Structure 1
Amino acid sequence: MTGRRRLALFGVCLVVLLGVAWYAGSRPGSGGPPPSVTGSVRLGPDPGAAVADYLASLPATLPEPGVAVPALVQLHTAVTGDQAVALAGDAAILQVVWRVPIPRVQTALRFETLDAGVAVGTAVDVSRQRAQLAAQADASRRTGRPGAVAAAEQAALGNADCACVVAVVVRTDRAGLETITARAGVRGVQAAPAGAVLTDLALAPLLPEQTDRVDPLPDDGVVPPAPTG
């Protein structure tokens, strides 16, 4: 084999080796951060799950010390925006889950991401106003019971003191999540895997009325009339 042919063969082998190395390094689980996929990380119990089993599983989701991750903070009862801010403490609030509580009436979960660079109290209140606008839009295009429910939601969310927050998504480390978990009013905290971002999350929070199993709530209650005038 001539020197030129040996050089050409060496070049081909080098290209193949580099290609193999690139492929191995680009595969999931190769040591790099996991790929970000919208809705790929579910936070919240599976439908039909036993509530006690779900809550017992949550401590195992907490990250290693010093690692900050998004986490779903689920509450015993719905609270006001100000109360939600107090429960989060020093943790950054990324998203608020609004839901108007009406006995035995299914109402919408409204997921509102907070504006960046705005004082947290103001950002949470702006998210309430956006949830109200979403309810208003539903009320304007729906008829019958669904329209009446949306109108009742719109009216409730128009009150700054509406106790309508059932969960928040925060970002903090293990110590911060353990502090939140210990606060009165917090039912459970489920952390996302390290490296996850808000857009990765698919949220299905445990609702205050779900006490035994994660089943659909009844929808046979009386819808309060929306105020007039």
Structure 2
Amino acid sequence: MPEAPAPPRPRRTGRGLAFGAAAAACGVFVLALGYLIPPAEAVVSTDRLGPDQGEPVTEYLDRARETLTGPDDGDRWALVSFTEYRPAAVLRERVGGIRVGQALYQVPLPRVATPLIAVQTPDSDTALRRSGTDAAWQLADRRRYVTAERTARILDVAIARLRDDRACSPGVVVRAPLSRLRELAGRPGIRAVQALPADAVAGRFAVEPLLPDSSDPVGPRPDDGPIPPA
């Protein structure tokens, strides 16, 4: 029995040839465009305020003072570290009329590691006065997801003390000209003022304040002590 004839091969029409040529041309264009316009690089910020781990306190204080030198008097972001922890109610008094961008909170408990909270403070005294309560709300939201008993108890104590407006702020982040920052650094109760370069961008730098009870050299807070009652 003779074999069935093979089905005829489909003919490549002019439309198919045109489509293939267009696709190839598009691929060449995209490849060329990739060479002409390289992919955007990830933005990496190295700006940081505060002492480095293992840095002696005196070296940090000298380094902070050095950032306040120079003739330029444009506004700078700067970290203000206090000599003692302060409650939210007196933060405005500590820094005068300088704009405060962030209020920092870290509840001091002997030999107990507590989290650092940064509260954004729009340019208003009302936001600054309620920043301790706002820090408590941040911790309360975090507390909902904590299952470890010790961590949960630490957060409970920290939340209660922040809501009571206890002295829990080691410092603030401000924005002001160098001349005003130098004046602020000389005020009683101010341990250090460290300024960033003029081109530093808000929200693109890290902050780790010099705590009033920080170890020397600076290191992590020990976490082997008993948790006090709220």
TM-score normalised to structure 2 length: 0.75
* 1:62-118 deviations in Å (ceiling 9; x for gaps): 2534211110001111101232211211210010111111111111100111134xx
* Structure 1 position 144, deviation (Å): 0.8
The residue type paired with residue 92 of structure 2 is V
Aligned partner of 1:19 in structure 2 is none
Deviates more, 1:44-53 or 1:58-67: 58-67
Aligned partner of 2:116 in structure 1 is 109
The SS at the match of 2:130 is helix
Aligned partner of 1:97 in structure 2 is 104
Find 1:221's aligned residue among 216, 220, 225. Answer: 225
Aligned partner of 1:172 in structure 2 is 176
1:152 aligns with 2:157: yes
The SS at the match of 2:155 is helix
Aligned partner of 2:49 in structure 1 is 43
1:127 aligns with 2:131: yes
Counterparts in 2 of 1:81 and 1:69: CA distance versus 1, 3 Å: same
Deviates more, 1:99-108 or 1:81-90: 81-90
Aligned residue runs from structure 1 range 30-109, under 5 A: 39-62=45-68, 64-109=71-116
The residue type paired with residue 217 of structure 1 is R
Aligned partner of 1:13 in structure 2 is none
Number of aligned positions between the proteins: 186
Counterparts in 2 of 1:130 and 1:44: CA distance versus 1, 3 Å: same
1:195 aligns with 2:199: yes
The residue type paired with residue 127 of structure 1 is S
Could you say what the CA RMSD is over the residues aligned between the two structures, in angstroms?
1.7
The SS at the match of 1:150 is helix
1:138 aligns with 2:142: yes
* Structure 1 position 141, deviation (Å): 2.2
* Structure 1 position 158, deviation (Å): 0.8
Counterparts in 2 of 1:39 and 1:225: CA distance versus 1, 3 Å: farther
Question: Where in structure 2 are there 5+ consecutive unaligned residues?
Answer: 1-42
> What is the CA–CA distance in structure 1 between the aligned matches of 2:187 and 2:87, rounded to whole Å?
16
CA contact (8 A) 1:105 1:218 kept: yes
> What is the CA–CA distance in structure 2 between the aligned matches of 1:91 and 1:38, rounded to whole Å?
29
The residue type paired with residue 186 of structure 1 is I
Deviating beyond 4 angstroms after TM superposition, the runs of 4 or more aligned structure 1 residues are: none
Aligned partner of 2:214 in structure 1 is 210
TM-score normalised to structure 1 length: 0.76
The SS at the match of 2:136 is helix
Aligned residue runs from structure 1 range 5-24, under 5 A: none
% identical aligned pairs? 34
* 1:165-205 deviations in Å (ceiling 9; x for gaps): 11101111112111111111111011010122321221111
Counterparts in 2 of 1:51 and 1:106: CA distance versus 1, 3 Å: same
CA contact (8 A) 2:67 2:196 kept: yes
